[in-house]
Structure 1
Amino acid sequence: MSGLSMKAIEKAFGTVRVLNGVNFDVRPGEVHALLGMNGAGKSTLMNILAGAILPDAGTITIDGTPCAFSSPREAKQAGIGLVVQEVDTALFPGLPIYENLAADELADVKHHPIRSLREEKKWAAALLHRVGLSIPPTKLVRDCSLHEKQLIVLAKVLSSNARYIILDEPTAALSEAETKRLFAIIHELKQQGVGFIYISHKLKEVQEIADRLTILRDGRIIYQGAAGSLSLEDIVLHMTGTKQAATAKQARTYGSEIAFAARGIKIDKTSTTVDIYAHRGEIVGIAGLVGAGKTELAESLVAHRKTSGEWQLDGQHYTFSSPYEAIAAGLCLIPEERRKQGLFLPESVQTNLTVRLLSWLSRWQWISRMKETNAANGLVRSLGIHPPSPSTAVRHLSGGNQQKVVIGKWLNTNARVFLFDEPTKGIDVHAKQDVFSIIRTLADEGKTVLYFSSEFRELLEVCDTIYIMVDGRLLARLPAAELTYEQLVYYCSGGEIDGPAGRFRDTVEKSGVVYS
């Protein structure tokens, strides 16, 4: 029998059963999408297939031959490849591309083919060409774009002769053009007999690229069949168990007082200077396409990137030279790459939630475990983190629950300005609504929220005011209620802003914040 098959897979973590007799298969040359809400069991099923964890029961076969993977290395040898969502965690940024591609071979000393440096670079160039990249193999990974890094990881997977490749949220941080290029590469590899397991919350893209769908809910198969046989509404219904109701945006009010302002913030990557401000209790969106400079601005505002400028919080002026100084003044950043920059993955939920509270939890450098446990339990309950076990390692949580942990560690601190960089990246519709609820609650409490995103519909849903960002510049500051989705796309794509540009200048002048 040709293909990969998983039969009656079961897995539990303590008393929480995550997978209940799941059957899943992939045929050569097809894209089989695996869908479900955060916590449905997708990640656990794929971790079993990739050899990261062992199942409690069930079998895996490839072309009719039983397989039992006790490590990722064994899964790779059997032809299983994994392209993770946070591609930076799979690469060495300080090494050139060709050394990254050869890293697994170099680690396997017994089977590493002997190649000259010239042959190594030629081999790497051929792999890059196979995934549609025409960049020199000597380029350092840290100088590559996110899209290039993703394709480098795909090339690395292909170098191990992977026949079945798991793509975890592959388009979460890609532009529309980059997504189309990725899909073209997938179609080409399908013709070569490569099978794909495609995990994504972007359902329209799933309908475009997938041949078959499997939908998980609470660790059980809810639907399995052709991708074209279900509408988007039906897919959501199977994923959630309830019909998606349209919700009208509720009008919010916020104060007239400027709570946060930054002037002359230099973004080195784009060689631009940015001025920005927000009122107390205001949710301010920064809308821009992928590559517009949103992340660079967010990191510059907390002095994570080398920058210059002036900050103003509640009327007090600052200059920051380090994240420590920015955090001490009341700024915090929920980063786009939560697994890389926002979490201690091997540590427990409790440790991650309380890491910013150590000065309060400790006395004479001794941590009060009772205080720590009580603080963590309170946050787990209020945030709705699942499973509700503070002792669970955070790496075992779904993306949505991990994001709640990243946010939660700042809630009991002195943070006054919350910067959210692509906060819904790779999380499902229910988790998104939970994140929106947290953001609205923070604003209602008088906190100031800056929301950096390329998801324009989300910005219109949650924000009071939206900045338009193009090529590292903020071009306009507009009331969200006066914008449409089509206008946001047009403006962020470089479309001319006529009337709104004038309103932007008037609003800046009336704000009382001095801009150059």
Structure 2
Amino acid sequence: MSGLFMNNIYKSFDRVTVLNGVNFHVKKGEVHALLGMNGAGKSTLMKILAGDLQPNEGTITIDGTDVNFPNPAAAKKAGIGLVVQEVDTALFPFLTVYENIVADDLVHAARHPFLSWKKQKQRAAQVLQQIGLSLPLDKRIHECTLHEKQLIVLAKVLFSSARYIILDEPTAALSEVETKRLFSIMKQLKNQGVSFIYISHKLKEVKEICDQVTILRDGSVVHQGDAAQLSIEEMIYHMVGRTQQRKERERRTYGEDILFEVKQLQIPKTNTMIDLQIRKGEIVGIAGLVGAGKTELAESLFAHTKTTGEWLIHGKRHTFSSPKEAIAAGMCFIPEERRKQGLFMSETTRTNLTVRLLSSLAKWQWISRKQEKERAQQLIDTLHIQPSSQQAIVKQLSGGNQQKIVIGKWLQTGGEVFIFDEPTKGIDVSAKAEVFAIIRSLAEQGKAVLYLTNEFQELLDIADTIYVMVDGQLVQRFTAEEATYEQLIYYSSGGGEENGTSTNNNAFNRKAISS
């Protein structure tokens, strides 16, 4: 009996049941989607398969043989590979690309005294070539971009000869071109009998690449079947347990007063210069593929990196040399890598929500715990953070609740300018709707909002004005009414330059874009 079978899997934490008799079957040489809202049990099920957790009940069978995974090493030996969403947790930042790919063999080098490291290095290079990643093997991981790290983790799994590969939000850090390359690689490996378990909130991708789909809700399987026979609307229905209501986007109005403006902002990492304006109550979107320079722009606006330029907030001129100065002037930053840059993962919800409020909660260097608890509870209630306990450890929360905490810590600071860099990465459709509601609420309060993403449909849903970024430059501008998905794809892929309509020789020159 070929294939992977997880039979009647139960898992509880204390008195909370997370998995309730789950049956999950992956055939040899197929891509099987595992879907569900945050908290549905997907991660727990995959942690059991990867040997990170033990089930309370249930069995795992691979190709007719019952297996037991007391640890991740046992799962790897049985052919289970895991490409995690937060790739930094799977890599050694100060080791080389080669050392990371062959890390398991390096750890157990004593068991393989006659192993040819020259051949290992050649094989590592072949794996990188297989996935289309051109990198020096001696490059340090901390010098790599986010999407390069994603592909290095995939290379590491392929190097270990995994037969069942878990892909957790694999395209979250990839551009459209890189996503297509990944899909091409997956199809090639499928033909060689490799199977994939595909976890993603991008349901269009599920339809494109997956053969079968299993949907979890509240720890139970609510649907299993052929992915081609299930519409995206039906997937969402099974995930949330109700029919999604379609609504036309309401037209928003905002003032003419310019709240935030940046002039001659030099972005060192892309060697470009930007002018930008955001009006009071306006949501401005920056659309760009991965590698377009969006994060570099966001970090320069927040003075994460040394830069030059002139910032104006409510007409008052500033020059920032550090994030501390930017924060003091009223700027707030929700970074792309929330676990690495936005949260204290081992601390409580309360600590993370109130960290930016400590100066207002302290008197004579003593923090008022009563006020701290009150402020934290206000934010928990407002943002509908689950679980609602202030003492919950952040690393144990779902991605959607973590993201609400990253945003929530800024809401009572009096900030005027909110910068969101890929704010919905890796969160489900329900959490995404809640993040959108928070952003719209900020705009209604008269804040200036900058929203940077490669999810173009999101900008069409929420932004009032959309700019397209290519190679660190703003090359096109649209109002919400005139923008289309096809236009955003066209210009972000450099289509405008092919027809001579770049910012240098048409109405969308740098001066026009800033107005």
TM-score (norm 2): 0.92
1:73 is matched with which residue? 73
Q: Can you give the 5+ residue segments of structure 1 that lack an aligned partner in the other structure?
A: 512-516
SS at structure 2 position matched to 1:481: coil
Identity among equivalent positions (%) equals 62
Q: Which amino acid aligns with 1:192?
A: Q
> How much has 1:505 moved relative to structure 2?
7.0
2:233 is matched with which residue? 233
Work out whether residues 150 and 173 of structure 2, in 8 Å CA contact, stay in contact via their aligned partners in 1. Answer: no
CA distance in 2, matches of 1:364, 1:68: 57
> How much has 1:115 moved relative to structure 2?
5.3
> How much has 1:114 moved relative to structure 2?
5.6
Work out whether residues 466 and 477 of structure 1, in 8 Å CA contact, stay in contact via their aligned partners in 2. Answer: yes
**Residue 371, structure 1, aligned to residue 376, structure 2:** no
Sort the Cα spacing of 1:348 and 1:54 in 2 relative to 1 into closer, same or farther, 3 A. Answer: farther
CA distance in 2, matches of 1:52, 1:347: 22
**Residue 97, structure 1, aligned to residue 102, structure 2:** no
Sort the Cα spacing of 1:52 and 1:328 in 2 relative to 1 into closer, same or farther, 3 A. Answer: farther
2:507 is matched with which residue? 502
Q: 1:92-171 to 2 correspondence within 5 Å?
A: 92-108=92-108, 110-111=110-111, 118-171=118-171
CA distance in 1, matches of 2:112, 2:266: 46
**Residue 419, structure 1, aligned to residue 419, structure 2:** yes
Shifted more, 360-369 versus 209-218: the winner is 360-369
2:304 is matched with which residue? 304
> How much has 1:506 moved relative to structure 2?
7.7
Q: Which amino acid aligns with 2:261?
A: A
Work out whether residues 204 and 232 of structure 1, in 8 Å CA contact, stay in contact via their aligned partners in 2. Answer: yes
2:221 is matched with which residue? 221
Work out whether residues 262 and 276 of structure 2, in 8 Å CA contact, stay in contact via their aligned partners in 1. Answer: yes
1:192 is matched with which residue? 192
Q: Which amino acid aligns with 1:103?
A: A
Work out whether residues 475 and 508 of structure 2, in 8 Å CA contact, stay in contact via their aligned partners in 1. Answer: no
TM-score (norm 1): 0.92
2:351 is matched with which residue? 351
> How much has 1:91 moved relative to structure 2?
2.0
Sort the Cα spacing of 1:69 and 1:229 in 2 relative to 1 into closer, same or farther, 3 A. Answer: same
SS at structure 1 position matched to 2:178: helix
CA distance in 2, matches of 1:80, 1:338: 27
Q: Which amino acid aligns with 1:494?
A: G
1:62 is matched with which residue? 62
**Residue 463, structure 1, aligned to residue 463, structure 2:** yes
Work out whether residues 476 and 513 of structure 2, in 8 Å CA contact, stay in contact via their aligned partners in 1. Answer: no
Q: Count how many residue pairs are aligned between Structure 1 and Structure 2.
A: 510
Work out whether residues 215 and 239 of structure 1, in 8 Å CA contact, stay in contact via their aligned partners in 2. Answer: yes
Question: RMSD in angstroms over aligned alpha carbons?
Answer: 2.5
CA distance in 1, matches of 2:355, 2:68: 38
**Residue 432, structure 1, aligned to residue 432, structure 2:** yes
Work out whether residues 30 and 195 of structure 1, in 8 Å CA contact, stay in contact via their aligned partners in 2. Answer: yes
Q: Which amino acid aligns with 2:372?
A: E
CA distance in 1, matches of 2:390, 2:443: 27
2:288 is matched with which residue? 288
SS at structure 2 position matched to 1:502: coil
Q: 1:234-273 to 2 correspondence within 5 Å?
A: 234-273=234-273
SS at structure 1 position matched to 2:507: helix
Q: Can you give the 5+ residue segments of structure 2 that lack an aligned partner in the other structure?
A: none
1:201 is matched with which residue? 201
**Residue 475, structure 1, aligned to residue 475, structure 2:** yes
> How much has 1:224 moved relative to structure 2?
0.8
> How much has 1:113 moved relative to structure 2?
5.1
Shifted more, 417-426 versus 346-355: the winner is 346-355
1:514 is matched with which residue? none
